Structure 1
């Protein structure tokens, strides 16, 4: 009697195990978006005077961050609450809409079906509180000036024309957001003139934050007619916030003055008889060094120029901390190089030695350039120059090395303004083998001979590889890979790209890209890759 019972139990266990492993079968996956079957008011209704809007769909729905995704133009300043009821949603606005105005409610992907979260497509409702619908339209596209890429989800606004327009404090009257292709369209707007401005609007407050957000604008006022032109806007970061001292860092050996933004250059004038060595550091600060003699408090007048070429005059008092011991502990004296140690060098090269303190003494007889440990050239016999603050040395040299280029800096050959020296230093670089690299050459072709050009080669991450100033270029020693080629219209001929200034109506300097990436191969040269362009 035992065996049949055991068999029955085994069968039952096997049955339940099999039952647990089989997943229930369902119907075909829902891939359809919810369809709007009715709205109150109906689309393109006129003389609408209510403050409640209802939408009815053909299936159960949910909302997804509707407070962010629902775009109402013109900007209504009319708070609302919403209520879901299965297949419908009701929006209750606190106030009635402004009279004689056409409104557009664009829901984006804020309403989705309940089962699979498929968003309702092209869900938009237009109505007028007056007797007719506005028919104006403005459309176009946005691109990043520096990368030539479309910008997604940027705010494109139409602003009423005013002498006091300030986009950091005023929201647009009409607005839209760009799609993944950078395209925007603002419809059903009043037929009149506006200022067209686009901002990155990362925090989605509809106000321009110059510190962090890109901006683009049309030079002139535009007219929003029924047949608008296509507006192409370029966007760039343009930090026009006033330059100021963000904080100071007093120490025993040095005194740091840090600014709220990067600076391009600085002029330093000392009051009275004082003078202190100084240097720029990290792009946004000046460091003064405690080198005697000087007053207990040293006063300096600074003229600081930012990346927008805006200069600001500041007075700064410098007071070092008193030493805690008889002997002051100095920061180590260090050296960095460009190219970095270990990077391959051509036999003809430009080299940068960057010190973390201004240099008081450099012995050009003791510092030597070595070629394969066979020949030695003293720095004194090479072409070199200091930057203004004597912490960066630029060297132009040629070497006869076949395998290795070396720099030898004996101890005591470089002495800082604090009197300390580098330890004995040996820097090594392999010699570039020409057959491992490619070359690229061509011409910028433009009928406007008054314009200066900067031709740049960039890798796929938009990192600058090399540049030439002028209408012809010849890039050598390019590692194999894919690259972008672009030309900058250097309108002010300062040798760099300058961003725009919306408050002065100045556009960023134009950048023209070769449409396709270039494939550079080892031991291969691309010639006559010409950039044919014209200024706008």
Structure 2
């Protein structure tokens, strides 16, 4: 009996294993996307009056995020539900489409085969609720003006021309989205006048959010037609939202006024005889320091200028928190430098000491530049200057060091408005070795005497290494690596790039890139790296 049971158990194990289902191995992977074999209505149907659209494919399909990926132009404001059933997909709309209108349904990659999820290619349907199909077309490409890179998935829209057009509140009448190469094509549109605008549309609500979305536009009103030109749209970030005081942060030692966006500069006017030291932190917070004696509150007028040059005035009451303990707990006095510590320096250099509080005393005899063990030059030997808020010291220095350059700041040589001081600080920098760096020379061609420009050398992350304002130009002491050169047309001569404004129909200052990247090796000099401006 035991032997019989053992044989039965072994047999069950063997045949049980043989009966397991295993995914088939080998064979060619399915890489063929599903094909549309039939649709209702038929593509390019006229006088369509229905509310249901059906698509039939040659294999089993699945639907992937169709509510986000299906683009219907013009924007229909017509909700729909969908049903996927084996080899077919059906869309049922809530109401009939508007009369005498050509509609385009672009499915993108919303429908894929069941097995390998290959998306159906170029899946698009066009129909008209009238007796003709509109034939207008607008096409072109979109790029970021600062990087010269194409922008993927930007919303490019045709807007009805109106004096009250507001893309933050109005959706485009026709639209498309850019592909990975930044190109777009809006087809089957009515042949009439439009405003052509591109936006990032990160939240896909088809409305422009100036706070964090780029935009770009064509200045002139365009007319869609079968033979329209290719439009190049340069997108840029332009926060034109009204500048506001977002919040205030009252403390015992200081009082911060935080703005709703970065500001370029701010003027402070005290409305009474009292004054307080202050500084601008990170471009967004204006910090006032509580120094005695002063009244319980101080009224100030703030004149703030944002990146678009818009000036806004505020009146603000500065009121510090009441002190509860016997002694204030102060934030420590901090120091950073430009260039950063341990960065190589040439023997002639511009140096910045950046402190986190306004400074009321600096001993320019005790602060010294150390060239070697015997040579200590006091700070007053060099030209230096403070910024308006007295927290950034800029020095034009010169050294004869061979190995390292050092700044020695003894304790007590820097005292803030809060009467605290830095601990003894020693800042070290190696002397730059010319053999470890390269040089790039070139010229700007086709520029007349009236053209003001900025030549910038940028790395692969578009970080600016150096800017110059003349031609021919020379970039010295460039680390080995890959670089790009771009030219900014400085139309207003302020030695910086200025963005555009959609509301004012003002384009950003033009930027032109050298077509090829530059590969620079150590101890090499590249000459005749010229860039030609268009005529």
The bucket for the TM-score relative to the shorter chain is over 0.9
Are 1:315 and 2:304 an aligned pair?
A: no
* Alpha-carbon offset, residue 89 of structure 1: 1.4
- Note closer, same or farther for the CA distance 1:527–1:7 as it changes in structure 2 (3 Å cut): farther
Deviation by residue 1:428-472 (Cα, 9 ceiling, x = unmatched): 111110000001111112243222111111111111111112233
Give distance in 2, aligned partners of 1:73 and 1:488.
37
Partner Cα distance (1:199, 1:240) in 2: 14
Task: List runs of 5+ in structure 2 lacking aligned partners.
Answer: none
CA distance 1:178–1:460, change in 2 (3 Å): same
Change (3 A) 1:11 1:90: closer
* Distance (Å, rounded) in 1 between the aligned partners of 2:488 and 2:122: 39
Q: What is the CA distance between 1:375 and its match in structure 2?
A: 1.2
Matched, 1:93 2:93: yes
| Residue 105 to residue 20, structure 1, CA distance change in 2 (3 Å) | closer
Structure 1 324/309 Cα, relative in aligned 2: closer, same or farther at 3 Å?
A: same
Matching residue of 1:487: 487
CA distance in 2, matches of 1:466, 1:164: 42
- Give the Å deviation of 1:376: 1.5
Aligned pair in 2 of structure 1 residues 24, 41: CA closer, same or farther (>3 Å)? closer
Between the aligned partners of 2:23 and 2:503, the Cα distance in structure 1 is 64
User: Equivalents in 2 of 1:311, 1:179: separation in Å?
Assistant: 39
Q: CA deviation at 1:21?
A: 12
Q: Which whole-Å CA distance do the structure 2 matches of 1:338 and 1:476 have between them?
A: 18
Describe how 1:50-65 pairs up with structure 2 within 5 A. 50-65=50-65
Q: TM-score of the superposition, structure 2-length normalised?
A: 0.96
What is the CA–CA distance in structure 2 between the aligned matches of 1:462 and 1:290, rounded to whole Å? 40
Aligned match of 1:187: 187
Asked whether the 8 Å contact 1:448–1:534 carries over to 2, the reply is no
* TM-score normalised over the length of structure 1: 0.96
Query: 2:153: which partner in 1?
Result: 153
Q: Which residue of 2 aligns with 1:231?
A: 231
- Larger mean CA deviation between 149-158 and 23-32 belongs to 23-32
Q: Deviations over 1:35-91 (max 9, x none)?
A: 111111111111111111111111111110001111000000011111222211111
RMSD of aligned alpha carbons: 2.1
Give the gaps of 5 or more residues in structure 1: none
Q: What is aligned with 1:375?
A: 375
Q: CA 1:40–1:435 in 2, change beyond 3 Å: closer, same or farther?
A: same
1:510 shift after superposition: 0.9
Structure 2 counterpart of 1:120:
120
What is the deviation of 1:412? 1.2
The correspondence of residues 514-529 of structure 1 with structure 2, limited to 5 A, is: 514-529=514-529
Aligned ranges 1:199-348 → 2 under 5 Å = 199-348=199-348
Matches of 1:20 and 1:95 in 2, distance apart?
Answer: 51
Match of 2:397 in 1: 397
Cα deviation 1:351-397 (Å, max 9, x = unaligned): 11000100101111111101133311111010111111010011111
SS in 1 for 2:503: helix
CA-to-partner distance for each residue in 1:468-499, whole Å, 9 max, x for gaps?
Answer: 12233211111111011111111111111111
Supply the distance in 2 between the matched residues of 1:20 and 1:444 (Cα, whole angstroms): 74
Once the two structures are superposed, the pairs formed by residues 164-179 of structure 1 within 5 Å of their partners are 164-179=164-179
SS in 2 for 1:502: coil
Residues 534 and 16 of structure 1: is their aligned pair in 2 closer, same or farther, counting only changes over 3 Å?
same
Q: Deviation string for 1:210-265 (max 9, x for gaps)?
A: 00100000011001011010000000111000000111110111100111100100
CA 1:206/1:352 → structure 2, altered by over 3 Å: closer, same or farther?
Answer: same
Residues 504 and 116 (structure 1), Cα distance of their counterparts in 2 relative to 1, 3 Å cut: same
Q: How does 1:497-536 map to 2 (within 5 A)?
A: 497-534=497-534
Instruction: Quickly say closer, same or farther: Cα 1:72–1:493, change in 2 above 3 A.
Output: same
Contact 1:453 1:471 in 2 (8 A): no
Within 2, Cα distance between the matches of 1:466 and 1:434? 17
Distance of 1:36 and 1:71 partners within structure 2 = 18
From the superposition, tell whether residues 447 and 387 of structure 1 become closer, same or farther in structure 2 (CA, over 3 Å): same
Following superposition, the deviation at residue 25 of structure 1 comes to 3.4
- 1:421 Cα deviation (Å)? 1.2
Equivalenced residue count is 535
